Amino acid sequence: MFQDRLLLWKFKTGSQDAFCRIYEKYVNDLLTLAANLLADGSSAEDVVQDVFISFVKSADKFYLTGSLKGYLATCVANRARDYIRDNKRRQTVRRGETERIAPEPQSPVQLVIRSEELEKLGCAMTRLPYEQREVVVLHLHSALRFRQIARLQNVSVKTVQSRYRYGLDKLRSILNGEVEK
């Protein structure tokens, strides 16, 4: 967090290098978040690019009170919602320039199994109601607390906790026991 504040301060005082470091540090997390929210790689790129553009335009006007990662994740979530509302696109996963990658495989067999699992999980995510999906990915990928998500969604913390629980239950139900136990 201190490093982020330092980078942000350097960026605000004119260091482009500092911005590049912020970008490199968070772009993949944000792409993951956006892609999981939008279920579309190309749209995710658009959203993340929009968020970074907005960030560089307004960086000197805002004062960071929490984590930079949390701030950027919240921006992506907001922008993703706007994107969905504005474009009304079908939320289908499209493979293109952005591709889902599996974690480092432990063995060639696991690679196949994990890839299949992730493929199914990715598809299952798209079938979650948007509010539940948003809670799940913001909590698990961006490490936002339920309180922060509640503020973002303008609902109570209990509602967010419920959405999270229902979301995971539904994912398990969709995957129908194929997830590793």
Partner 1 sequence: MSPAESIEKLIKKLRYQANTETHQRILGNVLQTLDESEKEKTGAAAPNIRSIIMKSPITKLAVAAVIIVAVIVGVTQLIGPVNVTSVALADVLERIEQAQAYMYKTKMSTTGTVMPGMPAREMEMEGTATISNEYGMKMEMTMVDANSGEKTIQQMYMIPNDKVMVMVLPAQKKYIRMEFTEDLLARMKKQNNEPREMVKQIMSCNYIELGRSKIDGIEVQGFETTDPRVMAGMAQHVKLTLWVDAATWLPVRQQMDIQVNEQMQMHGIVYDYQWNIQASPDAFKPVIPEDFTAFPAGGMKMPEMNEEAAIEGLRMFAELTGKYPKNLSLLTLMQELSQELVGKLKDSQSPASEQLRQAFKQAQSEDEKAKKLVDMMKPVQSIGMFYMTLMQDKKEPAYYGEKVSPGEVGSVLLRWKISDNQYRVIFGDLTAADVTAEELSELEKALLK
Instruction: Please state the length of the chain.
Output: 181
- CB under 8 A: which stretch of 18-26, 74-82, 105-113, 147-155 binds partner 1? 18-26
Distance (Å, rounded) from C-alpha 101 to C-alpha 118?
9
Distance (Å, rounded) from C-alpha 69 to C-alpha 80?
16
61 lines the binding site for partner 1 (CB under 8 A): no
Which residue, 1 or 56, is less far from partner 1 as judged by CB?
56
Phi, psi of 177 (to 5 degrees): 80, 5
Q: 2, 57, 108, 176: which one contacts partner 1 (CB under 8 A)?
A: 57
Burial of 58 (0-12, 13-18, 19+ CB in 10 A): exposed
Residues engaged in binding partner 1 (CB under 8 A)? 13-14, 16, 19-20, 23, 27-28, 31-32, 35-36, 41, 44-45, 48-49, 52-53, 56-57, 60, 97-103, 114, 117-118, 121-122, 125, 136-137, 140-141, 168, 171-172, 175, 179-181
